Amino acid sequence: MKLTSKIYIAGHRGMVGSAIHRYLLSQGFTNLIFKTSKELNLTLQNEVEHFFEKNKPEYVFIAAAKVGGIYANNEYPAEFLYNNLMIETNLIHSSFKHGVKKLLFLGSSCIYPKMAPQPIVEEALLTSSLEESNKWYAIAKISGVMLCQAYKKQYGANFISAMPTNMYGKNDNYDLENSHVLPAMLRKFHEAKINNSNQVTLWGTGTPRREFLHADDLAEACLFLMLNYDGEGFLNIGSGEDISILELAEMIQKITKFEGKIVWDIDKPDGTPRKLMDISKIKNLGWEYKIKLRDGINQVYKEKFLLN
Domain limits, the chain: 7-172+211-242+275-292
Q: Per residue in 106-115, pLDDT tens?
A: 999 889 998 8
Q: Provide the pLDDT confidence category of residue 272 given band limits of 50, 70 and 90.
A: confident
The amino acid occupying position 136 is W
pTM of the model: 0.94
Give 7-172+211-242+275-292's CATH code, choosing from 3.40.50.720, 3.40.190.150, 3.90.700.10, 3.90.1150.10. 3.40.50.720
29 to 21, 56, 243: CA distances (angstroms): 9, 17, 36
20 to 64, 157, 162, 243: CA distances (angstroms): 12, 22, 14, 26
Alpha carbon 294 to its chain's center: 19
Burial string for 276-298 (b: 16+ CB within 10 Å, else e) reads bbbbebbeeeebebebebeebbe
- Which sign, positive or negative, has the C-alpha torsion 67, 68, 73, 75? negative
Whether 137 sits among the annotated catalytic residues: the reply is: yes
At residue 308, the pLDDT reads: 64
Q: Per residue in 183-218, pLDDT tens?
A: 999 999 999 999 999 999 998 999 999 999 999 999
CB 18 within 8 A of CB 34: no
Catalytic annotation, pick one of 8, 23, 59, 137:
137
At residue 274, the pLDDT reads: 87
The conformation of residue 189, written as its DSSP 8-state character, comes to: H
CA dist., res. 67 & res. 51, Å (int): 23
Highest mean pLDDT among 104-118, 125-139, 215-229: 215-229
Average pLDDT, the chain: 94
Burial string for 9-45 (b: 16+ CB within 10 Å, else e) reads bbbbebbbbbbbbbbbeeeebeebebbeeeeeebbee
CA dist., res. 81 & res. 74, Å (int): 11
- Give mean pLDDT, residues 124-136: 91
